[in-house]
Amino acid sequence: MADEFADDPKDFTQPPSFFPYDEDEEPEFEGELNRQLVEVHFDHIVISETEDSKQYYVLLTDGRRHLMIVIGGYEATAISYGAEGAQTDRPMTHDLLVRCVEALDGEIDRVVIDDLFNKTYFAKVYIKSGKEEFEIDARPSDAIAIAVRLGAPIFAIDGIPAASAPVDRAV
């Protein structure tokens, strides 16, 4: 697994290996990041077990490529419950947030995984209320847990970003 993170973090001309392009579809990066949005969909949770620990990943796909983000066990449960439509006796944190937004006549419009810095992903949740739109900073795992509950679209910056270091964790 270490080989897949062997990209040189100083090579800003190629996207990182965890969001691979087909060889004939590699985008051209000319010193600028490709900031186009690509709609991705929750695929599934991956659990990697060793004798000493478990590592959880959320797998997103655009149908051709995959993006795997390291998440915690609680976050994996929250995303899985949301994707399955599972009901709990009491609302989970993500359910509570959705209910609060709805009670204030807002709606979750979309979530965007918009950056990768210092091996950590960043995301935004976009909330519409009337004619206003609010951009809320979020952990990608929380944003995805909210999106799967509502069927809200999930987007990622294409190449997330190409000028990033290889990822070994995200929150």
CA distances to 73, 79, 95, 147, 167 from 117, rounded to whole Å, are: 22, 23, 28, 23, 9
d(C-alpha 34, C-alpha 55), whole Å: 30
Q: Indicate the DSSP class of residue 28.
A: P
User: Helix, strand or coil for residue 142?
Assistant: helix
User: Helix, strand or coil for residue 44?
Assistant: strand
Q: Please tell me the predicted confidence (pLDDT) of residue 22.
A: 52
- One-letter amino acid identity for 65? R
Q: Which residues pair with 47 in a beta bridge?
A: 56
Mean pLDDT by groups of 10 residues along the chain of 171 residues: 45 47 49 71 93 92 87 94 91 91 94 86 94 94 96 87 35 38
18-149-61 Cα angle (round to 5):
20
Token pair of 158 as six digits: 């294409």
Q: Please tell me the predicted confidence (pLDDT) of residue 36.
A: 83
- One-letter amino acid identity for 149? R
pTM over 0.85: no
pLDDT tens for 29-65 read 444 456 688 899 999 999 999 899 899 999 998 888 8
